[in-house]
Amino acid sequence: MDESIWNTVRASRGWLDAANGTGQTELTCRILKLTEEAGEAAGAWIGLLGQNPRKGVTHSREDVAAELADVAFTALVAIESLGLDARTVLDGCAAKVRARVQPSPG
């Protein structure tokens, strides 16, 4: 069994397609899911800081990292759901970032 992240992303998209269909409403929900996951990451960070005095410290850095990973994975599934190859899109994004952060030769 190939356990690469890219195969898992594609398998997740296939599972969602089979369960929920592939229409515009479903695609909208997959994109909006990013907002939900980002909110959970924000909530975990607030919990790590103990910002809510009623609750105190409720999360760890590992909890925050896990929520951020959920955001990233959800984004990759949404890209695949658009009919694009998530790896190619992410590689393109990384190339743009590299061009900004690497000093130009000369």
Estimate to the nearest angstrom the gap between the alpha carbon of 58 and the chain centroid: 22
Residue 49's SS3 state is helix
**How much is the pLDDT for 3?**
75
Name every residue whose Cβ is closer than 8 Å to that of residue 50 and which is 6 or more positions away in sequence: 56, 57, 58
Q: Phi, psi (5° rounding) for residue 53?
A: -65, -25
Residue 44's SS3 state is helix
Q: Which domains, ranges and CATH numbers included, belong to the chain? A: 5-101 (1.10.287)
Residue 47 half-sphere exposure toward CB, CA atoms < 13 A: 15
- Decide: pTM greater than 0.85: yes
**How much is the pLDDT for 102?**
86
**How much is the pLDDT for 2?**
62
